[in-house]
Amino acid sequence: MVSCGAGRAALRLSVFLLSAMFLFIAAAADDAAHDDESTPKSATCSNRFQLVKVRNWVNGVESANLVGLSARFGASLPRHASEAQQWPSALANPFNCCTNLTSKLSNSIALAKRGDCTFTAKAIVAQAGGATGLLVINNDEVEVLLYSPERPVVDLSATFLWLMAVGTIICASLWAEFIVCEPVDERYNQLEWKDQTGAGMINRENEKEILEINAKGAIIFVLAASAFLLLLFFFMSSWFVWLLIVLFCIGGVEGMHVCLVALFSRICKVCGRKTTSLPILGEVLILSIVILPLCIAFAVYWAANRHASYAWIGQDILGICLMITVLQMARLPNIKVASALLSCAFVYDVFWVFISPLIFHESVMIAVARGDSSGETIPMLLRIPRFFDPWGGYDMIGFGDILFPGLLVAFSYRYDRANRKGIANGYFLWLTLGYAFGLLLTYIALYLMDGHGQPALLYLVPCTLGLIVILGWIRGELSDLWNYGNSQSRDRIVTDV
């Protein structure tokens, strides 16, 4: 039978799996939607939007650069500041540029004062007067330089994010092999299984709280994720994001605590054996008591300073620890369940990124990931600043794009180990390479699509699930992979999701 520890496992994992419910895309953040097809066009106003960097000088002193969007009319801007042309400027007449102009503005930038009508109305009047651009100005002496620099073809920040995602999956898969110490004393086992004859308790090596996902639970999970995504899209506000931040901190603290206790127990085996008795909790590790307040303090500090320029470091540390712990606690029994989970997640990701704009007039996934309606960003993702991009912003990848393929990669490692397979004739190495290649394809697509968010699972699922199916079929092991675990059900502690 399963002891009360299994109930605690289900409760703790429910917090972790809530984070995985956000299958966010591997996309660039903080970018303007500069090619919105829903904006009005005409035969003479049909240019693609360009992000525009505006260098400006007020009274001879250079101010902070501004970022804007080009208009539907006018010439395209150069990519480099050295190629930018200094257009002559001319005052609009009338100065507010709200009614038909009496002055000729051909091949000039119209200068108009702010107010009296909308910016769009001013732009329409300036266009009718032949202006190549429009600047709304104040009463100070202003100099400007307009250009539209290109993004770098290879962004090192994206490379670091790629390494973090791949490294998280590798670390989680090998965690039990290289980090977890030898079996602990039977007194501290949390999960125990007793056979029907009552002959005795059977200890598992490296006792852990494990939830084994089944096909039904996988499908329900993805449907619940869709419902929750819609809830966020329509009702997300600052207090709702705060609720998600609190949940993220709880999961991050738990994940960091588990990882640090395991690491220090591995380094100092004596520390991993000293215990004390506490009311209600019973006998616990002293090391665990010492580390827990540090983890809580780390999460609280991150939450309080989450808008700081360095906050991404704390968010990534908490997220990686959380995902490593999730991949230790949740397991796929075979590729039959993996096919159900990843296929549903594949459709989910593609639908909410590419198809949802046809229904909701914008990508639901991207809008939620950016936090458009709340002004806050969702914490359930890894992110890193684009240090070498002139436009700034962040590269990011959602937890789901790591966790769902990671469950399959971790399964492949357990399968290889159980069947004594080598590196070359096993599956773990090839699925790890497949995941890395799929994530690389995601970033290539992100670049080719000019920074528009991509459903990462569109590339990751074929490169992982498709790869293991093809390899299994070629090696004649597909049937065993498909039904693996059915005959060993009594050898593992199972709590179905």
**Region of residue 13 (left: phi > 0; alpha: psi -120 to 50; beta: else):** alpha
Q: Both tokens of residue 25?
A: 């895309």
d(CA 433, CA 451) in angstroms, rounded, equals 25
Specify whether 401 is catalytic: yes
DSSP 85: -
The answer to whether residue 155 is catalytic is no
Label each residue of 373-428 as H, E or C.
CCCCCCCCEEEEECCCCCCCCEEEEECHHHHHHHHHHHHHHHHHHHCCCCCCCCCH
Q: Which residues contact 216 (CB under 8 A, 6 or more apart)?
A: none
Q: Give the active site residue among 31, 155, 349, 395.
A: 349
Amino acid at residue number 35: D
Name the nearest CA neighbour of 320 among 298, 301, 304, 338. 298
Q: Catalytic pick from 155, 389, 395, 401?
A: 401
Q: How far apart are CA 327 and CA 413, in angstroms?
A: 12
Sequence-ordered list of residues with C-beta below 8 angstroms from that of 328, at least 6 positions apart, any chain = 172, 175, 176, 208, 258
- Characterize 40-60 residue by residue with b for buried, 16 or more Cβ atoms within 10 angstroms of its Cβ, and e for exposed: eeeeeeeeeebbbbebbeeee
How far apart are the C-alpha atoms of 45 and 123, rounded to whole Å?
11
* Tokens of residue 481, six digits: 């992979």
Which positions are annotated as active-site residues?
A: 349, 401
